[in-house]
């Protein structure tokens, strides 16, 4: 008989919806051991296939069961540089946990265990670095892709300089994902350990403006581009220029990076009373829950497909609902209403078509089904595309029509000695994929450097 899945404690929904404390409190050691003991240690572990980077899940879970917490962490970090972060933000229910043989009884809580092991030595123990190769690598962008590439390049013996456009490193981990889901001290610990390993992190450096890619090629032996996909998409509907319409990126950056939620912050942010968020991914959930925490009376998520298609992590959707966020599904905005400020949103009802060959159901508008909803703030969380700055300064860097950098399986771009990975090379994706792209490119760079 397998015991039921352990659930970590969550902050009370009525209190937490007005503060920025972390919602999921994580396992304590006893619960972690008890949860780890539920694992059947399958001979052919399917969870591992569900993990985009193939972490040796049964092995680390077994170490937790045996209370070798540090060892558990080491096993994870062989494949994943950011266990504390991925344990918190990976969509485990569609990855490792979905493959667990216990899934019908309640999969092993692999994400929560990963987080526990990661936090056990926050930021990781210092590692002995090999002898220097005498080669210099530049990493552009300090998001998960860049941080992970930088860490591995250091471990291979490169001298590493990281250039970051913002005044703080971390990428989306710092400016996008809110404190209540990913406390910034976790992100800082990763950055600090990178610095302790000897990385030079240069903030306020926009590559393509301060230095061009050619400048970096002159100064460095190898370059990794982890510039993300930060350019927000709007809908191109009338009224989007009105005051009170913003991208989720603007809204979240003002709060997360500029701390606009604090009463004495100098950075302003709109605190709507009746807020509509358009979209249903993690970004939309984060924006909706942040709006609630800034004091909204009512927050509504408007999404053109149905519940089954909502791309956000399941836990975030559940938490949003507990916090009183409403969902208006199969509905799509057609116009933002208002004179010079947002006063409402005109929307249209949608239906899903029959599944096509790829088993995808498209949303199509239902004629004459428009109606209006009242609101004083509209936040667009419709996705992002890669930032054009770097590309504009480097014409021979090949990209697709959307600006996504073209790379081969090692992350090599069309430009000699220049690699890329993460959202910049895939379009908006996930932390774990960005992390692994950085790791893969670092290995490829090392291989190329030592072959010569």
Partner 1 sequence: MYKIVRKKQLAENVNEYVIEAPLAALRAEPGQFVILRVDSEGERVPFTIADYDPDKGTVTILVQTVGATTELLSRLDAGDSVADFVGPLGNPTDLTKYDKVLLVGGGIGGAVIHPQAKLLNKIGKPADVVLGARTKSLLLYMDEMSRYAARLYPMTDDGSYGEKGFVTDAVAQLIKEHAYDAVLAVGPLPMMQAVAEVTRPAAIKTIVSMNSVMVDGTGMCGCCRVTVGGERKYACVDGPEFDGHLINFKEARMRQGFYREQEKEHYCRIRGEIKNG
Q: Where does this chain bind partner 1 (CB under 8 A)?
A: 165-167, 202-206, 209-212, 230-232, 234, 236, 240-244, 246-247, 249-250, 253-254, 258-259, 263-270, 340, 387-389
Q: CB of 207: closest distance to partner 1 in angstroms?
A: 10
Q: CB of 264: closest distance to partner 1 in angstroms?
A: 5
With tokens 């929904």, the residue in question is 13
Q: CB of 169: closest distance to ligand FAD in angstroms?
A: 7
Closer to ligand FAD at the Cβ: 87 or 143? Answer: 143
Question: Would you tell me which residues interact with ligand FAD (CB under 6 A)?
Answer: 89-90, 140-146, 163-166, 171-172, 176-177, 205-208, 226-228, 230, 252, 282-283, 286, 313, 387, 389-390, 422-424, 428-432, 434
Interstrand relation of 159-163 and 136-140 (parallel, antiparallel or unpaired): parallel
Query: Which among ligand FAD, partner 1, none contacts residue 172 (Cβ within 5 to 8 A by kind)?
Result: ligand FAD
Q: CB of 402: closest distance to ligand FAD in angstroms?
A: 15
Q: CA 246, 424, 399, 389 torsion: positive or negative? A: positive
8 Å CB contact between 275 and 375: yes
348: which residues sit within 8 A by CB, 6+ positions away? 331, 332, 334, 365, 366, 369, 370
Closer to ligand FAD at the Cβ: 38 or 181? Answer: 181
Query: Which among partner 1, ligand FAD, none contacts residue 226 (Cβ within 5 to 8 A by kind)?
Result: ligand FAD
Dist. CA 54–CA 296, nearest whole Å: 41
Dist. CA 440–CA 79, nearest whole Å: 10
Instruction: Show the 3-state SS of 269-317.
Output: CCCCCEEEEECCCHHHHHHHHHHHHCCCCEEEEECCCCHHHCCCCHHHH
Query: Which among ligand FAD, partner 1, none contacts residue 25 (Cβ within 5 to 8 A by kind)?
Result: none
Closer to ligand FAD at the Cβ: 174 or 300? Answer: 174
- Burial of 45-56, coded b for 16+ CB within 10 Å and e otherwise, reads bebbebbbbebb
Q: CB of 7: closest distance to partner 1 in angstroms?
A: 36
Q: CB of 385: closest distance to partner 1 in angstroms?
A: 10
- CA separation, residue 242 to residues 80, 147, 165, 376, 382 (Å): 43, 37, 28, 11, 18
Closer to ligand FAD at the Cβ: 45 or 176? Answer: 176
């Amino acid at each position: 008989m397998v015991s039921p899945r352990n659930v970590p404690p969550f902050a009370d929904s009525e209190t937490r919806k007005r503060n920025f404390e972390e919602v999921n409190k994580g396992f304590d050691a006893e619960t972690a051991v008890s949860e780890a003991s539920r694992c059947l240690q399958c001979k052919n572990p399917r969870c591992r296939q569900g993990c985009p980077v193939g972490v040796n899940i049964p092995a680390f879970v077994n170490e937790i069961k045996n209370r070798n917490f540090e060892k558990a962490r080491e096993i994870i970090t062989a494949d994943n540089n950011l266990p504390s972060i991925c344990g918190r933000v990976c969509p485990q229910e569609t990855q490792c946990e979905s493959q667990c043989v216990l899934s019908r009884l309640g999969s092993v809580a692999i994400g929560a265990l990963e987080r526990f092991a990661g936090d056990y030595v926050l930021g990781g123990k210092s590692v002995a670095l090999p002898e220097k190769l005498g080669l210099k690598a530049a990493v552009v962008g300090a998001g998960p892709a860049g941080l992970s590439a930088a860490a591995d390049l250091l471990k291979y013996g490169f001298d590493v300089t990281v250039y970051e456009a913002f005044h703080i490193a971390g990428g989306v981990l710092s400016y996008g994902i809110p404190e209540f889901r990913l406390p910034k001290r976790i992100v800082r610990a990763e950055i600090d350990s990178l610095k302790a390993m000897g990385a030079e992190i240069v903030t306020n450096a926009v590559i393509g403006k301060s230095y061009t890619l050619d400048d970096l090629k002159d100064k460095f032996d190898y370059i990794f581009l982890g510039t993300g996909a930060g350019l927000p998409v709007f809908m191109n509907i009338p009224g989007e220029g009105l005051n009170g319409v913003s991208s989720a990126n603007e809204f979240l950056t003002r709060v997360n990076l500029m701390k606009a939620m604090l009463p004495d912050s100098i950075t302003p942010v709109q605190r709507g009373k009746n807020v509509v968020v358009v979209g249903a991914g993690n970004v939309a959930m984060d924006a909706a829950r942040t709006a609630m925490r800034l004091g909204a009376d009512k927050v509504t998520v408007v999404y053109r497909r149905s519940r089954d298609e909502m791309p956000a992590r399941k836990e975030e959707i559940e938490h949003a609902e507990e916090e009183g966020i409403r969902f208006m599904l199969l509905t799509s905005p057609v116009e933002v209403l208002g004179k010079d400020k947002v006063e409402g949103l005109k929307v249209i009802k949608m239906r899903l078509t029959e599944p096509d060959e790829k088993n995808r159901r498209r949303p199509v508008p239902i004629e004459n089904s428009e109606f209006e909803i009242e609101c004083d703030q509209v936040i667009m969380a419709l996705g992002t595309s890669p930032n054009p700055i770097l590309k504009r300064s480097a014409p021979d860097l090949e990209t697709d029509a959307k600006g996504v950098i073209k790379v081969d399986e090692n992350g090599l771009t069309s430009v000699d000695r220049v690699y890329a990975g993460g959202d910049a090379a895939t379009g908006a994706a996930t932390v774990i994929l960005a992390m692994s792209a950085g790791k893969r490119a670092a290995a490829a760079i090392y291989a190329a450097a030592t072959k010569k």
